[in-house]
Amino acid sequence: MVRNNIEVDVKVKCIEQGKTQAKLAEEIDTTKTYVNRVIKKNESVVNNTFVKMMEALGYDIELQYVERDVN
């Protein structure tokens, strides 16, 4: 199981940076519809087979976000 709520995580990071999903989509050269679809469908963010393998091994998955050093 992926423990993160990716939809909430992305929305929070957008708010923290003052960006809309539309602006984020523009920056990564895609559509706002696609960005929204990806964050609402967690299995497209983390490969479903990988999740099943880790579950079979007795693990859940937690994503950790680390801000990049731009210097």
pTM score: 0.78
Indicate whether 45 belongs to any domain. Answer: yes
Full domain range(s) for residue 38 = 6-57
Identify the pLDDT of residue 70: 84
> 7-16, 17-26, 45-54 — which is least confidently predicted?
45-54
Helix (H, G, I), strand (E, B) or coil at 61: strand
Provide the domain count of the chain: 1
> DSSP assignment of 11-46, as one string?
HHHHHHHT--HHHHHHHTTS-HHHHHHHHH-GGGTS
Rounded average pLDDT over 22-47 = 88
Residue 66 has pLDDT above 80, yes or no: yes
Indicate whether 1 belongs to any domain. Answer: no
Helix (H, G, I), strand (E, B) or coil at 52: helix
**Above pLDDT 70, what percent of the chain?**
96
pLDDT level of residue 42 (50, 70, 90 thresholds):
low
Indicate whether 69 belongs to any domain. Answer: no
Indicate whether 67 belongs to any domain. Answer: no
